[in-house]
Structure 1
Amino acid sequence: MEEGGLQEKLIVEKKGSRKEEEEEEEEGGDNEKLSRRLWEENKKLWKVAGPSICTRFSTFGVTVISQAFVGHIGATELAAYALVSTVLIRFSNGILLGMASALETLCGQSYGAKQYHMLGIYLQRSWIILFICSLFILPIFIFTTPLLKLIGQEDSIAEMAGTISKWFIPVMFSYIWAFTLQMYLQSQSKNMIITYLAVLTLVLHISLSWFTTKILGLGLVGVMISVIIVMWIPAFGQLGFVFFGGCPETWKGFSFSAFKDLCSITKVSLSSGVMLCLELWYNTLLVLLTGYMKNAEVALDALSICLNINGWEMMIAFGFMGAAGVRVANELGAGSAKRAKFAIINVVVTSLIIGIILFTFFLILRGKLAYIFTENSEVTRAVADLSPLLSFSILLNSVQPVLSGVAIGAGWQGVVAYVNIACYYFIGIPLGIVLGYVVGFHVKGIWMGMILGVVVQTIVLLYITTRTDWEKQVVLSKERINKWYMKEESKDEES
C-alpha cells in the first residue's frame, strides 16, 4: 500500500476510535463503566486463559510426573531424562510450538474480521509445514548419544539419554496436531474440549506410570510407554472434535487450497518459530552449561528440579501468553484499538498479581518441593540454595511471556526475535558464563546472568508495547487480512 493511502486509513481509524470513546463515555459513570468493562474483558480473557493454562499444565505435567517416577529409578536415569526433556524436547517444542503460534496471529485476526473459512485453510497449511519441519528434527533424536558425547557430556548420561530420546520420537510427532489444533480452537474461544482432554491426560498418566513401574516393574520403559499414550490423546481428541462438527463455521473439510502459497505462510511460521525458540532454548543452554561443572550429576539434578518447578509455573504465564495473543488479534481484526489496549493492560496486571503470589509461596517453601523428585539429601540442599533465584524467575515469568503474547497477537514476531537474540544471547548468557565460571558462583552465577537477560528483555518489550500506535496496528491488521483473503479469492476463481 502507498504511504498516502495508509495515512488516510489511519485518519479514518483514529476518527472511528475517538467516536467509539465518546460513545462509551456517555454510558453511565466512570466507575460503573470501568467495572463493566473489566467484567466483560475478564470473561473473554479467562475463557481462553483457563483452558490454555490447564492444557499447558497437562502437557508439562506429563514431563514433571515422568521425571518424578524416573527420579526414583536412579540418579543416572534422572540426569539423562532431565537432559532429554530440557534440551531435546524443549528444542523440538521451541520449533514446533513457535511455528504453530503463527496461527494465533492469522486465525485470531481472521476470526475477529469474521473471515471464518480461512481458519481451516490456515490450520491445514500449518500441518503440512510442521510435518516437514519434524522430519528435519528427527535425526537429532536418533543420534542423541554421539551428539551429547561430542559436546562433552558424561558417557553414562549420554548413553542413557540416547535410549530415552528414541522413546520421545512418537511424542514429537504428536505435537504437530496438538499444538496447531490448540491454536486454532483458542482463536475461536472453543477450548473447553482442550480442558477435558488435558485433565484426562494427567489422570491417565499418573495411573499408567504407577501401574507400569510399580505393578509391572517395567521401570523406565513403563514410564515412556505411558508418555507416548497420553501425549496422543489430546491430538486424537481435538481432531475428532474438529472433524465431527465442533467448528462448523471454520472447518469446511480438507481443501487443495492448503497446498497453495505455502511459502508465504512458512515465512510467518518461521518468524514465530524463531521468536519462541530463542525463548525456550535459553533455559536449555543453562542446563548444558551446568553439565560442564564439577559434580555435574548433583548440579544437573538440582537444576532440573528447579527448572521443572519453574517450567510448570510458567505454564500459567504461557496460558496468559496465548490469551493475550488471542485477545489482541481478535480486537485488532475487529478494528478496535481501544479494546486491544484495554485487553493488554488487563492481562498483564492479572498475570502479575498471580506471579507475586507464587513468588511469595515458592520463597517460603524453598527446597521442600525437591522431595517430590528425589530422596537424595545433597540434591535437596542444592535445590534449597537455588530457591531464591527460582522465586525471582517465577516473578519475571508473570510479565515477560505475556508481552510476547501481545507481540504474537499483533504480528511482531520478527521484531521480538531480534530483541530475544540481543537480550538473551548477547547479555544473559555472557553474563552467566562470567558469573558462573570466572567469578565462581557456579550454577547460581549462570542463572543470575540469564535472569538479568530476561530483565532487560522485559523492559524492552514494555517500552515497545507502551510506545505502539495501536490505531496504526488496526490498519496493518486489516491490510494483512485483506491480502490473504484477496489472494485466496483470486486463486479460487482461477481454479
Structure 2
Amino acid sequence: MWFKQLRISKNLSVEFRKIFTLAWPLILINVTRSSNPIVTTAFCGHLDRTSLAAATLATSFINVFGLSIVTGLCAACDTLFPQVFGSSNKKKLGIVLQRSLIILSLSLLVIYTLWFNCGALLLVLFRQNIDVVSILRLFSNILLYRLTDTFIINAIPSLMGQLYFLILQKYLQAQGNVIPAAIIGLIGNGINALLCYLFLFVFKWGLTGAAWASNISFCFLPVATLVYIKWKKVHLSTWDGWSQDLFLDWFSYMKLATAGVVMLCIEWWSFEVYTIAAGLLGTVALGAQGALVNTLLFLFVVCLGIGDAATVRVGNELGSNNPTGARRAALAALFLSSVSVVILFSIVMATKDVLARAFTTDKEVIVLAATLYPFVAACHIFDGTQCICGGIIKGIGIQRLGAIANFLGYCVFAIPIGLVLTFSAHMGLKGKNDAKNLGIISLWIGSLTGLSLQMLFDFIILARVNWENQAKLAMERSRDDTLNLSTSNSENDIEMDEVQKDIINKDVAANDTETLINSNENIEQDVQVIVRSNKDPWNLILKRRVITTIFIAAVFAVGLTLRFTVSNQILRSTNDSQPVTEIPILNTTGAFNV
C-alpha cells in the first residue's frame, strides 16, 4: 500500500514540474499583454488631461467590446488544440487551426461593426445621463468623444493582431512550446514603448500615433510567431496543408466558443460594473477602486498562467485517452493554486500600505485603499482558485457548465448583493464620507460572496466529472472530420447528421446500400466512402458557409454605412463643451486587460 502511495506521489511531483514549466512563461505572456495598453495610456497622459481621459475610455471600450469577446471565443482553441495534439491524429490540429482562423476572422467583422460607431454610441449613452450622474460630467466634453473615437478607429488593426497572436500562441501552447511566445511578447512591449515615444513626442501625432504604436506592436506578435513556427518547422507534425475539412464542424466549435465568451465576459464585465458603481460614490472611492482592481489583476494574471498550463495538461491527457493522467493533472494544478494564492495573500497583507502608495499620492485614496486591501487579498483566494478551475474546465471542454457557474456567482449573487449593500449604505448613513467608504466596502463584500460561491460551483462541477467519458469525447473530437460524417452523436456538428441522413436516404432509394447493411464492422468505412464520392454534402456545407459569410459581410457593410452617415453626423453636429478640468476615471478598468 505504501509503495502505491509513493508511486502516486512521484507521479504528482512529475506533474507539478510539467505544469510549472508551462506556467511561468504563460504568466509572463499574460503580463506583457496586460502591460501594453497601460504603457500606451501612460504615454497619452503626458499629452494633456483630455488625451489621457480619451485613451482610458478607449482602452476600456476596446477591452469590453473587443478583447474580452475574442479571448472568450478562443476558449474553443483551449479545448481542441491540446486534446487533438494529445491524440495520435496530430494532423487534425492543423485543420482545427485553419477553422479557428476562419471563424474568428468572421467574428472580428461583427465586432468592428460596433467599433465603427463607438464615438456616437458613447456620446448618446453618456450625454443622456449627464444630469443624473454627476461623476460622468467629464464626458460632456464632445472633444473627449472625438478623441476616443479617433483612438478606437485607428486601433482597429490592433485587435486583429491580438486575436491572431492568441490563436498561434495557443497552437504552440498545446504542444508545450511556450517560451518563444513569451520572448516575442516582451519584444512587442519594447516596440510599443519605443513607437509611443517617437509618434507622440517626436512626430507629434497625438492619439492617432498612440493607436498606431499599438497596431504595429500587436501586429508584430503574430507575424513574429509565424516566422518562428516556419523557421523551427514546428508545424511539420501537425500541418498537412489547407484542407476543405476546415468548413466542417463549425457548430461544435461555436458551442465551445460561445460558452467561453459567456464564461469570460460575465467575470470581466462584472468588474466594469463595480467600477461604474464606485464612480457614483465619488472620485476618492473610484481612485481606490482603480488601485484595488489593478492589484487584483496582477494577482489574477499569476493564477491565469497556472490555469492555462492546467488546460494544456488536462487536454493533452484526455486526447491521449488517459483519464487517470488528466485527473492527476487537475489535482496538481489545484494544489499549485492553493500554494500560490496563500503566498500572494500573505504578500498583499504585508504590503497593503506600500501598494496603495504605488497608485496615487492622494492621502484619502491611500487610506481607503489600504483599508480595502484585506478584502482584495481574501477575494484573490477564491478568484485565483476559480481561475485555475476554469482552466481545468476548458481543458475538459465543459465551458457551458463553467458559464453557468460564472453566471450564478456574479449575476445572481455578487453584483446584486454588492449593489444593494452599496447604495443601501449610501442612503442610510448621514455622514457623507462614511457612507461612501462603507459603500465601496459593500461592493467588495458582494464580490467576495460571489467569488466564494463561484469557486464552490466549480468544485462541484469538477467533482462530478466522469473522466473516462470525457476521454472518449476527446478522442471523438480528434477523429478525422470525414469520419465524423458517418457518426451521429451529440458532440458532432448537427449539420453532419443531416447530411448523413440525406446521403443514406438517397442511396437507399437507389438500392446502393447493400454494403452498408451487410456488415456492422465495415459500416463506418462504407459511409465514409459514400460521403467522399457524393458531392451533395459538400455543396450543402459550402452553401451554408457562404450564406453565413454573406450575412456577416452585410452586417459589416451596414455598420460601415452608419459610420459615414449617422455617426459622423452626430459627432459633427454636437457643439464642444468646456475643457476637461478633472479626470475622475484613472487607473481603473482601462488596465483590466487579460
- TM score, norm. by length of structure 2: 0.72
Please give the alpha-carbon distance, in whole angstroms, between the structure 1 residues aligned to 2:275 and 2:350.
Answer: 25
Alignment partners' CA distance in 2, 1:90 and 1:263:
25
8 Å contact 1:72–1:373 — kept in the other structure? no
Identical-pair percentage: 27
Residues 246 and 236 (structure 1 numbering): CA distance in 2 closer, same or farther, change over 3 Å?
Answer: same
Cα gap change, 1:232/1:401 in structure 2, threshold over 3 Å: closer, same or farther? Answer: same
For 1:135 and 1:94, the matched residues in 2 are separated by 15
Task: Confirm whether residue 278 of structure 1 aligns to residue 266 of structure 2.
Answer: yes
- For 1:294 and 1:328, locate their aligned partners in 2 and report how far apart those are by CA, in whole Å: 44
Asked whether 1:52 is paired with 2:39, we answer no
Shift of 1:259: 2.5
Correspondence 1:86-235 to 2 at 5 A: 86-149=60-123, 150-151=125-126, 152=129, 153=136, 154-156=139-141, 158=145, 160-213=147-200, 220-235=207-222
Q: Does 1:463 align with 2:460?
A: yes
Matches within 5 A, 1:350-429: 350-369=336-355, 374=360, 376-377=362-363, 379-429=365-415
Change (3 A) 1:374 1:238: same
Q: 1:91, 1:277 within 8 Å by CA — same for their partners in 2?
A: no
2:434 corresponds to 1:437? no
Q: 1:65: which partner in 2?
A: 39
Match 1:328 to one of 309, 314, 322:
314
| Residue of structure 2 in register with 1:238 after alignment | 225
| CA distance in 2: counterparts of 1:423 and 1:407, whole angstroms | 16
Q: CA deviation at 1:29?
A: 3.3
The CA deviation string for residues 291-323 of structure 1, in whole angstroms up to 9 with x for no partner, is 4x1535x54444234323322332222211211
Q: Do the aligned partners of residues 429 and 332 (structure 1) sit closer, same or farther apart at CA in structure 2, a change above 3 Å counting?
A: same
Letter in 1 for 2:109: L
Change (3 A) 1:139 1:384: farther
Instruction: Tell me how far 1:232 sits from its aligned partner.
Output: 1.6
Confirm or deny: 8 A CA contact 2:306 2:388 kept in the other structure: yes
Output one character per residue of 1:42-78: Cα deviation in whole Å (capped at 9) or x when no partner.
2321332222211111101112333443445555544
Equivalent pairs, count: 467
How far apart, in 2, do the equivalents of 1:370 and 1:360 lie?
16
Q: 1:88 to 1:367 in 2, by over 3 A?
A: farther
Aligned: 1:481 with 2:474:
no
Q: Compute the RMSD of aligned alpha carbons.
A: 2.8
Q: Taking structure 1 as reference, are residues 87 and 363 closer, same or farther at Cα in structure 2, changes over 3 Å only?
A: farther
CA distance 1:251–1:93, shift in 2 (3 Å):
same
Structure number with larger C-alpha Rg: 2
Residue number in structure 2 paired with 1:256:
244
Tell which deviates more after alignment, 467-476 or 327-336: 467-476
CA distance in 2, matches of 1:308, 1:199: 20
Answer yes or no: is the 8 Å Cα contact 1:287–1:303 preserved in 2: yes
SS of alignment partner, residue 238 of structure 2: coil
The C-alpha deviation readout for 1:462-491, integer Å capped at 9, x for no partner, is 122123232232233334434846227946
* AA at the equivalent of 1:171: S
Question: Which deviates the most, 483-492 or 201-210?
Answer: 483-492
The change in CA–CA distance for 1:35 and 1:206 in structure 2 (over 3 A counts) is farther
**SS at the partner of 2:351?**
helix
Mean Cα deviation higher: 161-170 or 453-462: 161-170
Paired position in structure 2 for 1:9: none
Change (3 A) 1:236 1:383: farther
What are the ranges of 5 or more consecutive residues in structure 2 without an aligned counterpart? 130-135, 427-437, 487-527, 536-594
Structure 1 residue 209: deviation in Å?
3.5
Q: State the Cα distance separating 1:433 from its structure 2 match.
A: 0.9
SS in 1 for 2:113: helix
How far off is 1:412 after superposition? 0.7
TM-score by length of 1: 0.85
Q: Deviation string for 1:435-482 (max 9, x for gaps)? A: 221222333322321231111100111122123232232233334434
**Which one is further off, 251-260 or 477-486?**
477-486
Cα distance in 2 between the residues matched to 1:492 and 1:313: 51
- Quote the Cα distance in structure 2 between the aligned partners of 1:91 and 1:53: 24
1: CA distance, partners of 2:485 / 2:48: 56
